[in-house]
């Protein structure tokens, strides 16, 4: 089992639904035990969970998270992710509390990590309380479509970090580039989720290294 015991981490979000383009990006990422590879939702929707094994052809030893954003049948979707070779799977914080609880329970049973994505969740702490279960990581995520009008709440990041100290890793995502990555780490983020700043860069390795340097 691959583990995340030494935060912070850089989670590279691979959302482009083109496996060859994605594999090129992965092949250019620097070797680092601080990198998490995210099989993004659009990528999984196009290729299914088999895309995880395709990513492993390029980077066999990487920690890979399947961003399913599960909304129902939590235990079933964990099984799909785990059997596909994922080290972690993602449930949506908008899911029914029992779905979240069963997702986390099945992830523990199958020895993979459970991430909960709080995109569009107004009160992440209440969502966790209602579910009555603690995931491995809580992701405070701003969606792409809302970037023009929504800002990251760094004070809220501190509050969630305080409340969940020692219970879960805290991640931040959504339009993160170098300055926002720096701010995320300064505000206590354990996982910084970065997509386009790295994946659309003409120099993928340099873009990733610019963020990894902030974590040393």
What's the pLDDT band for 156 if we cut at 50, 70, 90? confident
Q: What is the pLDDT of residue 160?
A: 87
Q: How far is 67 from 58, CA to CA, in rounded Å?
A: 19
Average pLDDT, rounded, for the chain: 93
pLDDT of residue 153: 61
13-31 per-position pLDDT tens digit: 999 999 999 999 999 999 9
Nearest CA to 15 out of 35, 36, 45 is that of 45
The pLDDT value given to residue 155 = 61
Average pLDDT of span 71-83: 98
Domain ranges within the chain, ordered by starting residue: 9-215
pLDDT per position as a tens digit, 107-148: 999 999 999 999 989 899 999 999 999 999 999 987 777 766
Nearest 5°: CA angle at 194, between 190 and 198?
135
Residue the block writes with tokens 């873009």: 207
Output 174 or 207, whichever has higher pLDDT. 207
Q: Is 86 exposed, middle or buried (0-12, 13-18, 19+ CB in 10 A)?
A: buried
9-215 placed in CATH 3.20.20.70: yes
Following DSSP, what letter does each residue of 73-86 receive, concatenated?
A: -HHHHHHHHHHTT-
Tokens encoding 69? 């954003």
pLDDT value, residue 43? 97
- Residue 28 tokens read as 């250019």
Q: What is the reported pLDDT for 99?
A: 98
Q: For 91-102, what is each residue's pLDDT tens digit?
A: 999 999 999 999
């Amino acid at each position: 089992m691959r583990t995340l015991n030494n935060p912070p981490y850089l989670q590279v979000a691979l959302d482009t639904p083109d496996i060859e383009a994605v594999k090129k990006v992965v092949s250019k990422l620097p070797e680092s035990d601080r990198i998490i590879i995210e099989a993004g939702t659009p990528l999984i929707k196009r290729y299914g969970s088999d895309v995880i094994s395709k990513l492993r052809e390029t980077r066999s030893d990487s920690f890979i998270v399947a961003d399913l954003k599960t909304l129902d049948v939590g235990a079933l979707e964990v099984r799909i992710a785990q059997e596909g070779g994922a080290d972690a799977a993602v449930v949506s914080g908008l899911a029914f509390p029992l779905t979240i609880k069963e997702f986390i329970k099945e992830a523990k049973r199958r020895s993979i990590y459970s991430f909960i994505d709080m995109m569009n969740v107004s009160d992440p702490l209440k969502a966790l309380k209602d579910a009555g279960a603690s995931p491995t990581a809580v992701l405070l995520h701003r969606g792409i479509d809302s970037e023009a009008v929504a800002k990251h709440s760094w004070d809220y990041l501190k509050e969630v970090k305080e409340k969940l100290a020692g219970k879960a890793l805290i991640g931040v995502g959504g339009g993160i580039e170098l300055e926002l990555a720096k701010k995320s780490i300064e505000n206590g983020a354990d996982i910084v989720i970065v997509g386009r700043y790295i994946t659309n860069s003409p120099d993928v390795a340099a873009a990733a290294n610019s963020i990894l340097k902030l974590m040393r």
